[in-house]
Structure 1
Amino acid sequence: MDVSKAVDQRISTRAFLPDALPESEIRDWLEQARRAPSGGNTQPWRTIIVSGAAKDAVIGMAAPVLAANPKGQPTDRPIYPKDLWEPHESRRRKVGEMMYEALGIPREDRAARVGWFANNFRFFGAPVAAFIIIDERMGHGQWGHTGMYLQTLALLAEERGWGTCMQECWGMLRPALKEHFKLSDTEMVWCAMAVGKPDKEHPVNTLRAERAPLDEIAELHGF
């Protein structure tokens, strides 16, 4: 598979087969991803992989925290800026509506929508989850570099026939995750990534999110 194909066919996979991914393959995947770029070669990321009982423990930890506060724990790094502006807010809302349409869940069925959202915190049934760790002292640039690492993981997974879903929603539980993983005083979880073989028969995996037209997001000068 070439890079162009991997980029084009990658989606946020939200339904997975139960098939386990062997530790040897996960190690090889992470080994390849070490070549992800970073400014000054700082490599500001760390990765925690959970599967089996370790994954179940994270799910079990999250459930009572979210039951006590469905909006998650306080954070100074929210997933989206407050009062997200246009056109970004419309894009965010549109992909959500496309997902619920694929699932056949109407807007008025709030209970079903909330129930589906809860699947985020079960990794959508994926056998493996990766937690991306960054030091809180890092600047905006290093967060960008860590994003390049995340994309590298996703494209390498695509090459292997795996699906991924990048899950910033786990940022709602940063204090609890910090304690669960016994991170250092300055470390934090940025996000998670669900990883596994995609269930290609599930309707949610038919969703192909729209992208803004090129003229809306790019300018070319001097040509």
Structure 2
Amino acid sequence: MNVTEAVRTRRSIRHFLDKPVELEVLRTAMETAQYSPSGGNLQPWHAVVLTGEPLDELKSVVAAKLPQGPDGQSPEYEIYPKGLQEPYRTRRFALGEAMYDSLEIPRENKMGRMMQMTRNFQAFDAPVCLFVHTPKNMGPPQWSDMGMWLQSLMLLLVEAGLDSCPQEAWSVYGKEIRETLKLPEDHIFFCGMAIGYRDPDAPVNRFPVPRAPIDEALQFRGFAEL
């Protein structure tokens, strides 16, 4: 396993096997992820890692709120910008359609799509889920640091034969998560991340997720033309 292979094979897994994850494997990956860069070496990431009864308890708390829908909830932050412009809107729409197509849930099946969405809050049956938080006074640079830590951790999990799915969806129920996990009052909840072993036969784990060519995102200046 090298870095290139880990980056290319990592994907957000939405169906996990019923197979426990050893604590020592997790600790090894997380200890190495502590070498992730952060501005001023602040290391602003904090997380609670749950499995077994504690994870079941949290899922039950959130499940009790699901029938109310998103109305009345106080999300920790806006996951996507309002009025999402192109090409980002099309990329997001295409991903959703590819996922539902893999599950054979057509657009007119609103209930089916809603039920699939609620699987986020079961961590897609992963045996482990971590919940990331940080002090409320941390700004966008420190949130970027948390992203670098999460990416490092996800790649290290791939190296260890594990899979993951970062889940900002949990932020809709940030209040319940902060209360249940007893997070510090001056902290904001960021995201969850499901961890476990992917089901290689599940169609939802195999649909293509295209990436934009680098010329759409990057400009090279000052280099000699090839």
Using the size of structure 2 for normalisation, the TM-score is: 0.95
Partner of 1:156: 156
Counterparts of 1:17 and 1:95, CA distance in 2: 23
Query: Shift in Å at residue 124 of structure 1?
Result: 0.4
Query: Shift in Å at residue 214 of structure 1?
Result: 1.3
Partner of 2:138: 138
The one-letter code of the counterpart of 2:6 is A
Query: Shift in Å at residue 75 of structure 1?
Result: 3.1
Checking the alignment, whether the CA contact within 8 Å between 2:76 and 2:171 is kept in structure 1 is no
Checking the alignment, whether the CA contact within 8 Å between 2:48 and 2:131 is kept in structure 1 is yes
Query: Shift in Å at residue 186 of structure 1?
Result: 1.2
Checking the alignment, whether the CA contact within 8 Å between 2:50 and 2:130 is kept in structure 1 is yes
Write out the 4+ residue segments of structure 1 that deviate beyond 4 Å after TM superposition. Answer: none
Q: Residue 101 and residue 146 in structure 1: after superposition, are their counterparts in 2 closer, same or farther (change >3 A)?
A: same
The answer to whether residue 22 in structure 2 is matched with residue 22 in structure 1 is yes
Checking the alignment, whether the CA contact within 8 Å between 2:47 and 2:133 is kept in structure 1 is yes
Show CA shifts across 1:108-141 (max 9, x none): 1111111111110000010000111111100110
Q: Residue 198 and residue 68 in structure 1: after superposition, are their counterparts in 2 closer, same or farther (change >3 A)?
A: same
The one-letter code of the counterpart of 2:182 is K
The one-letter code of the counterpart of 1:98 is A
The answer to whether residue 190 in structure 2 is matched with residue 190 in structure 1 is yes
The count of corresponding residues between Structure 1 and Structure 2 is 223
Identity of aligned residues (%): 39
User: Structure 1: 5+ residue runs without aligned partners?
Assistant: none
Counterparts of 2:152 and 2:207, CA distance in 1: 22
The answer to whether residue 11 in structure 2 is matched with residue 11 in structure 1 is yes
> 1:106 aligns to what SS in structure 2?
coil
Counterparts of 1:72 and 1:137, CA distance in 2: 25
Matches for 1:173-188 after TM superposition, within 5 Å? 173-188=173-188
Partner of 1:59: 59
Checking the alignment, whether the CA contact within 8 Å between 1:72 and 1:172 is kept in structure 2 is no
Query: Shift in Å at residue 72 of structure 1?
Result: 6.7
The one-letter code of the counterpart of 2:219 is E
> 2:48 aligns to what SS in structure 1?
strand
Checking the alignment, whether the CA contact within 8 Å between 2:12 and 2:166 is kept in structure 1 is yes
Q: CA RMSD in A?
A: 1.2
User: Structure 2: 5+ residue runs without aligned partners?
Assistant: none
> 2:208 aligns to what SS in structure 1?
coil
Using the size of structure 1 for normalisation, the TM-score is: 0.97
Q: Residue 170 and residue 71 in structure 1: after superposition, are their counterparts in 2 closer, same or farther (change >3 A)?
A: farther
> 1:121 aligns to what SS in structure 2?
helix
Partner of 2:90: 90
Partner of 1:168: 168
The one-letter code of the counterpart of 1:218 is L
Partner of 1:106: 106
Partner of 1:123: 123
The one-letter code of the counterpart of 1:211 is R
> 2:210 aligns to what SS in structure 1?
coil
Counterparts of 1:72 and 1:51, CA distance in 2: 29
Partner of 1:220: 220
Q: Residue 141 and residue 71 in structure 1: after superposition, are their counterparts in 2 closer, same or farther (change >3 A)?
A: same
Counterparts of 2:62 and 2:76, CA distance in 1: 19
Checking the alignment, whether the CA contact within 8 Å between 2:25 and 2:160 is kept in structure 1 is no
> 2:17 aligns to what SS in structure 1?
coil
Q: Residue 110 and residue 131 in structure 1: after superposition, are their counterparts in 2 closer, same or farther (change >3 A)?
A: same
Q: Residue 79 and residue 71 in structure 1: after superposition, are their counterparts in 2 closer, same or farther (change >3 A)?
A: farther
Q: Residue 76 and residue 83 in structure 1: after superposition, are their counterparts in 2 closer, same or farther (change >3 A)?
A: farther
Q: Residue 147 and residue 72 in structure 1: after superposition, are their counterparts in 2 closer, same or farther (change >3 A)?
A: farther
